[in-house]
Amino acid sequence: EVQLVQSGAEVKKPGESLKISCKGSGYSFTSYWIGWVRQMPGKGLEWMGIIYPGDSDTRYSPSFQGQVTISADKSISTAYLQWSSLKASDTAMYYCARLRDYYDSSGYSLPASLDYWGQGTLVTVSS
């Protein structure tokens, strides 16, 4: 059974750093993209970025480039999302998800649909 299990809720102060995690199981972790999605309170889904754990190829949404860092440790089948200096506006639910892929004309794997999701990690940033 495919599962993505995220780390627990966090309460932080502005300016603090944070790293949350997403552990995959039940499938070949290095063969699928993992993505991160933000959902601010009462708002819609925003794609933040993706990583391919097999070779650590990482892509960011322009809205989040430079704001967060996505990484993965394939030895423990875990992806990470981190901030170096949190802001109150980072308060949100963060989801990780496995992405089914497709192959372009060059045979390169590209992300497609988010087929399995973690349970979400609530991050609250408040002074």
Partner 1 sequence: DIQMTQSPSSLSASVGDRVTITCQASQDISNYLNWYQQKPGKAPKLLIYDASNLETGVPSRFSGSGSGTDFTFTISSLQPEDIATYYCQQYDNLLTFGPGTKVDIK
Binding part of the chain for partner 1, among 21-29, 44-52, 67-75, 82-90 by CB under 8 A, reads 44-52
**Residue from 33, 48, 60, 27 nearest 93 by CA:** 48
Residue 123 touches partner 1, criterion: CB under 8 A: no
Any contact of residue 53 with partner 1 (CB under 8 A)? no
**DSSP string covering 25-59:** ESS-GGGSEEEEEEE-TT--EEEEEEEETTTTEEE
d(CA 55, CA 78): 14
Contact flag: residue 114 with partner 1 (CB under 8 A): yes
Residue with the two structure tokens 């794997």 = 109
Which 3 state secondary structure label does DSSP give 14? coil
CB-wise, 65 or 84, nearer to partner 1? 65
35 near partner 1, judged by CB under 8 A: yes
Instruction: Give the nearer residue to partner 1 in terms of CB position, either 31 or 84.
Output: 31
| Contact residues: partner 1, CB under 8 A | 35, 37, 44-47, 50, 59, 61-62, 95, 97, 100, 102, 110-115, 117-120
